[in-house]
Amino acid sequence: MQISWRFPQKTVSLQANKHLIMKELLKKIIFEQQEYCKYVTQETVPRCIEEEWLTTTEILIITGIRRCGKSVLLQQMRRKLSEQDFFFNFDDERLVNFTVSDFQTLQECFFELFGEQHTYYFDEIQNVKGWETFVRRLYNEGNKVIVTGSNARMLSRELGTHLTGRYIAVEIFPFSFQEYLQLANIQVAPKDYYLTSKRSILLGQFKEYMEKGGFPKYLQSPSARYLSSLYDSIVFRDVMARNGLTNEKEMQELVFYLASNATKRITYSSLGKIVGIRHSETVKNYLEYIEQTYMIFQLMKYSPSVKVQMLNPKKIYFIDNAIVSRIGFNATENMGAKLENMVFIELKRRGYDVFYHADKKECDFVVREGMSIKEAYQVTIAMNGEKTRKREIAGLAEAMDAYGLTEGYILTMEEKEDLQIDGKTIHILPTWEWMLGKR
């Protein structure tokens, strides 16, 4: 009996041919991306880059919502490091069949094209299932690895098993007010806070920022179509497709309601009844999926007990006012909600652990450091009228008493004043001043 090796040889030949085809495709993409990246940072605002990010030997993982500037930050970091060639962006439709086994081929392409280097830059790497195993191997071999991704799950389930203790996490947000001013080529000098003309210009810019938000590309060329494209990418690709969801109508109605009622308290059961989702657990899961994309944040009521925090109503905030304006419905301009939303995002941008306070009164935000509350903030468009003034001061004062604070802040659109009440100081500040770091 003769044994023929014809079929195994044919299989090996097909595999080798597939490998060559993949190599050619990857090299083509590498060079195209290299050319594109030459122009990415030319007309953009320099983002803040901490020295630790450049010098650390740990894996640097940069996360944030789509199109908030992660890729630009990655390119700006590349320009500061000596090895720059091993860059690859996985957000490309030609890579739809790229699997974890293809990383080895990609590495071979790098070496063939650029020689030996030890610094890797991977953009939107979460698109490849199992990416963390390859990154761990690179790390174990002594390489520097910087990756970006648009899903908070990168910092939990996917990294918990393979990369625990091996990475530094950095969250990137859309432009701050300071960066917004940089984009508009407006420099702020210390004296500008005291000059009427300069204050008026800064307030005008702040009002525009409150409406337009901070998505870099949208600010450079405002377009409703751009925001719609961003929204669709988040909802359909990052929420529904990634989590295997099929009920498009439920998801869209849920996000629409949230955007129309940003900053208000919600419960999973009441939200389910409003948008027609039967089970509160389904609502809870949907909100978590949306939150993983960084489009929304769920703010919990402060309590020393985590169980109490979980059982109380949540408040919903959006990553950017542009999304709220684009997908939500409001009969009025709803300036108060937009101002509050901006303050929340600024607190998150600063890395604070934020909650709301509610007892007999309510305080919009309290900030925890370690095991205790260190700061309290109330947000209102204006302190007009005795009723509004009493309400805002009473809510802040109750929070200050509850957490033993001697100072608190009320952030407004224009008003500025310091109050002394029962031995405590309440600073009333224009929000734009606070955002620029002046207290």
Alpha helices in 123-223 (DSSP H): 131-140, 157-162, 177-183, 196-212, 216-220
pLDDT value at residue 439 = 61
DSSP-assigned letter for residue 301: B
Residue 204 CA to chain centroid, in angstroms?
Answer: 26
Rounded CA gap, 194 and 188, in Å?
11
Rounded CA gap, 64 and 173, in Å?
6
- The DSSP element (H or E) to which 110 belongs, if any, is helix 103-114
Q: Which two tokens stand for residue 412?
A: 């407004």
Indicate whether 372 pLDDT > 80.
yes
> Which residues have C-beta within 8 Å of that of residue 50, sequence separation ≥ 6?
none
Weakest mean pLDDT among 28-32, 157-161, 351-355: 157-161
Which stretches does DSSP call E strand in 195-329?
Answer: 265-266, 296-299, 314-318
Identity (one letter) of the amino acid at 353? D
> Which residues have C-beta within 8 Å of that of residue 68, sequence separation ≥ 6?
172, 173, 174, 214, 215, 216, 294, 319
Average pLDDT, the chain: 92
Q: Check: CB of residue 52 under 8 Å from CB of residue 81.
A: no
Mean pLDDT within 242-258: 94
Q: Which two tokens stand for residue 156?
A: 């939990």
Mean pLDDT within 396-413: 98
pTM given for the model:
0.92
Rounded CA gap, 296 and 255, in Å?
9
Q: Check: CB of residue 95 under 8 Å from CB of residue 29.
A: yes
Identity (one letter) of the amino acid at 67? R
| CB neighbour burial string for 99-120, b if at least 16 within 10 angstroms, e if fewer | eeebbebbbebbeeeeeeeebb
Chain segment 251-271, per-residue pLDDT in tens: 999 999 999 999 999 999 999
Mean pLDDT within 16-43: 85
Mean pLDDT within 224-241: 94
Q: Check: CB of residue 275 under 8 Å from CB of residue 286.
A: no
Mean pLDDT within 236-242: 93
Q: Check: CB of residue 206 under 8 Å from CB of residue 431.
A: yes
Chain segment 260-318, per-residue pLDDT in tens: 999 999 999 999 999 999 999 999 999 999 999 999 999 999 999 999 999 999 999 99
